[in-house]
């Protein structure tokens, strides 16, 4: 997909998605059961696992709002999110199948309206299934 230009090859190409999305709002909203996200942002390589991001000092993954126990950090590869400020990463989850991962995203709950300083802020957020395979994820977005 990278070689054919169907996935961002580098950071500069990926950044252009902030101006011109590669995926229509209608496709994004059809993919996400809650219909809340408006845009999709695909990361460029090199991709990192959640464990690698934590080792590099990314504190997002240890916050209660990121459902830190909802993924096997070594087997979750971060490939995108739902745009600037969404705090809703998209991962390839290899924990059940090391060859064919499922695609998950961090779904936020109504607790997101609470004060950020609250100890329970976002604590019921959860990693939910977005697509049963990367292939179906790509097909549903028409990439």
pTM assigned to the model: 0.87
Contacts of 84 (CB under 8 A, 6+ apart): 18, 41
pLDDT tens digit at each of 143 positions of the chain:
898 888 999 999 999 998 888 898 888 888 886 766 678 999 999 999 999 999 999 999 999 999 999 999 999 999 999 888 788 999 999 999 999 999 999 998 765 444 444 444 446 799 999 999 999 999 999 88
Choose among 142, 9, 33: nearest CA to 88: 33
Q: Write the CB contacts of 6 (distance below 8 Å, at least 6 apart in sequence).
A: 138, 143
Give the C-alpha separation, 101 to 42, whole Å.
17
- Dihedral of CA atoms 60, 44, 51, 126 in degrees, nearest 10, equals 50
Pairing between strand 48-49 and 102-107? unpaired
């Amino acid at each position: 997909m990278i070689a054919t230009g169907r996935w961002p090859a580098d950071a500069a190409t990926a950044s252009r998605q902030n101006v011109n999305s590669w995926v229509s709002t209608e496709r994004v909203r059809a993919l996400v059961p809650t219909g809340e996200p408006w845009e999709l942002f695909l990361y460029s390589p090199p991709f990192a696992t959640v464990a690698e991001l934590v080792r590099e000092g990314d504190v997002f993954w240890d916050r209660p709002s990121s459902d830190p126990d909802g993924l096997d950090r070594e087997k979750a590869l971060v490939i995108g999110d739902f745009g600037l400020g969404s705090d809703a990463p998209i991962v390839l989850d290899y924990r059940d199948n090391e060859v064919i991962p499922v695609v998950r995203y961090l779904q936020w709950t109504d607790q997101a309206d609470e004060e950020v300083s609250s100890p329970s802020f976002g604590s019921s957020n959860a990693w939910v299934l977005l697509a049963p395979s990367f292939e179906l994820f790509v097909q549903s977005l028409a990439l």
